[in-house]
Structure 1
Amino acid sequence: MRLFLIKLSILLATFFVLNSAFAWYISDNVTANRRSKYHWVCSLEANRYDFAFVGSSRVEMMVDPHVIDDTLGTNSVNIGVSGGGSADQFLLTSKLLRQNDVSVCFLQIDYLSISNKFTYPFRDYIWLCYDNDPVVQESLIEHCGSFRYWTWKGIPFLRFMEFASQYKKLIHSNAGEYWEQRKGGQKRDVPYSSAVEDSFHVYTPNELAVEYLFHTIELCHQHGVRLILFQAPVSPNLSSVSSYPKCTDRILAITQEFNLEYWDFSNLYESQGDLFYDNHHLNSIGAERFSKILAQRISTIVLPERDAT
């Protein structure tokens, strides 16, 4: 019996060591996948950007940095991410500002970011790859709970078993050129199948999402980066499949109470539903038109002076 227990202990120890080593190895390789927008943004270093555009897919697919830079002669980056919740946006902004020089940050704020009503509100499987960063670790614990996080941390292969469907294709799909060429933006004309027929949604403010909005505001202040909040155009069809006045009221209350710069383009295309490819996003023509209008508005602000290099 004693010999059996010894052999079992050795087997379990070997299994744990090998799987832990494999998990750490995979973690390093997962972050090398530049086709993932998250990992691409986290890899950006030593760049100087005049403008950084932050938000969900309503930034990623609706703000074209090329149009803005061609109009203004500037250098911009779009770090909007599909399905990116308020905490995801904060962590991406944190990575960007710590590793790059940014003059002005434009944060898109709307019914989605305030309500955090995304299919996957917090990308824990992404941020577990960066949990040596105390800012990331704190966010993971706040969203996933201490027990779950420290279980993942102490037995790392468990997280890869749990998120196998998210990780399995990442190792061999390194294609950072995709985002580099587009400066982080992309346009669509064909809706996702899940977005073709929206069921009715009621959007209400989520307090944790609001908390992380304030984290992003404070983050920009700490880095001396000018912050401008804006709301991208909203589809005229949205009101027929959703209710979001509480989010609109909360946005206005926040911007007014804290005297924040806020540009509201939500009603820009209220009678032009043909510029949207679904109930939430502009199509390629709409995105180009909006980016030109946004560039014109940006041209009215004064950029901070920058030291010559």
Structure 2
Amino acid sequence: MKDKLKFFYKTLAFLVLLGLILYPVQKVMARKSLSGAWDMTNKVGGFYNEEPDQFEVMFFGPSHAYAAFSPLVIWEETGVKSYVFATQQQPLWATYTYIKEALKQQSPSLIVLECRMAFGDQEYYIEGNKGKDIGVTYSYMDELPLSWNKVELAMQSAPDWENRFGTLFNFMMYHSRWDELSRTDFTFRRSQARDPYKGFVMLEPQGASQPRPAIEGIEETAPLLEKNQHWLEEIIKLCRAEGIELWIVKSPSNLELEEKPLLNTVRAIAAQNGVPFHDFNEDYYAIGLTEDMFYDAHHLDALGATRFSRYFADELSAARPGLKTDSGDPVWTADLERYQAALEALNGAA
């Protein structure tokens, strides 16, 4: 018995020591997105440095969310503070975890779910050969702090422990980055991360027309992937349990013909659960969008997103006039001025 205990304590001590060595190394080696439109380390990691209990509305979902909803524009129009806690192709099981993470320090009255990933056709989004390519899973796992929520998300995000462990401890993913390391990798502190755009990604206008598929009149439904339907329903249950209103939306994205039946199914699930639903593709002309206000076929550029966010702000105020407002915050005022200057520069370059 003594020998077994001795072996146990030695093993435990070794694992603790190994963790103490690898943890700072992992922080240096991990990929950091700190500049450009997709500065996701600032947008996701910076969320944890925001003042607690300030966001009355929170947006979740994939890139269709962070390219469409501008919290600064919405705040300018309504005084309501919000944040876009979204990542590239964020699957619904990741959205569920992101909501749970957000609720650790925020108490939103309304959660807006951009539902594009309900159309996904994959059980997992692990890409590449043992992490040689940066996959979708790492894009939503990397910036989450280690917690039980993250462990549970790893279980849903990979089919085996090799990949699960890699998503939890991304040293395995980025250990070959030695040639790419810069001074920033050594000096960056996640406690300093902050996104003045509150999770919004400002995409530069491309000047190309993106035609809209003719989806009017498509009323049939198509089954969602079972895993997607499960996690959509789990998100509905979570919001209900937390006493938070949920609004399921589809942002303007030039829906493909095959997407409309899937969206009709999401609409039906929302109706069955008494959850408000809105497809803003149906408001294309009311918003004032044109086919050249898209960064690519499915994502609004900064000019289109600004126009859409003003329209959304009007919808929000009309439907939910009781939301808490804080229109005089000097920090948000400064961030809005920065946003407007960047938008003006893009508009001049377009």
- Tell me the TM-score normalized by structure 2: 0.65
Once the two structures are superposed, what CA deviation does each residue of 1:197-231 show, in whole Å capped at 9, x if it has no partner? xxxxxx97332233222222222222222111111
Q: Distance in 2 between matches of 1:171 and 1:131?
A: 19
Residue 72 of structure 1: how far off its partner (Å): 0.6
Give the whole-Å Cα distance in 2 for the aligned partners of 1:288 and 1:128: 27
**Residue of structure 2 in register with 1:100 after alignment:** 106
In structure 1, the partner of 2:54 is 48
Structure 1: runs of 5 or more not aligned: 1-12, 197-202
Contact 1:63 1:185 survives alignment (8 Å): yes
- Alpha carbons of structure 1 residues 79 and 47: separation in structure 2 relative to 1, 3 Å: same
Q: In the alignment, which residue of structure 1 is the partner of 2:137? A: 122
Could you tell me which of 140, 158, 173 is aligned with 1:144?
158
Indicate the residue corresponding to 2:260 in structure 1: 245
| Secondary structure of the corresponding residue to residue 269 of structure 1 | helix
Provide the aligned length of Structure 1 versus Structure 2: 276
Following superposition of structure 1 onto structure 2, how do residues 1-309 of structure 1 map, counting pairs within 5 Å?
19-27=18-26, 36=41, 37-44=43-50, 46-110=52-116, 112-115=117-120, 120-123=135-138, 126=141, 130-133=145-148, 135-145=149-159, 147-148=161-162, 159-164=170-175, 171-172=185-186, 173=188, 179-189=194-204, 205-235=224-254, 239=256, 243-269=258-284, 272-300=290-318, 301-303=320-322
Deviation at 1:32, TM superposition (A): 9.7
Per-residue CA shift, 1:30-81, capped at 9, x if unaligned?
A: 6998751332234445232121111111111111111110111121212122
Check 1:171–1:86 CA distance in 2 against 1; reply closer, same or farther (3 A cut): farther
Change (3 A) 1:214 1:131: farther
User: Normalising to structure 1: TM-score of the pair?
Assistant: 0.73
Higher deviation after alignment, 123-132 or 93-102: 123-132
Change beyond 3 A, Cα 1:147–1:32: closer
Superposition RMSD on alpha carbons, in Å? Answer: 3.9
Identity %: 19
CA 1:165/1:102 → structure 2, altered by over 3 Å: closer, same or farther?
farther
SS where residue 202 of structure 2 aligns?
A: coil
Unaligned ranges ≥5, structure 2: 1-11, 128-134, 211-221, 326-350
Partners of 2:16 and 2:79 in 1: how far apart?
A: 53
Deviation of 1:294 after TM superposition, in Å, equals 0.2
Distance 1:267 1:299 in 2: 19
Residues 1:166 and 1:292: Cα distance change in structure 2 (over 3 Å): farther
CA deviations on 1:86-115 (whole Å, 9 max, x unpaired) are 2222222111112112121111112x3431
Question: Whole-Å Cα distance in 2 between the matches of residues 207 and 228 of structure 1?
Answer: 21
Distance 1:19 1:129, change over 3 A: farther
Q: Answer whether contact 1:187 1:283 (CA < 8 A) is retained.
A: yes
| Aligned-partner residue type, residue 20 of structure 2 | A
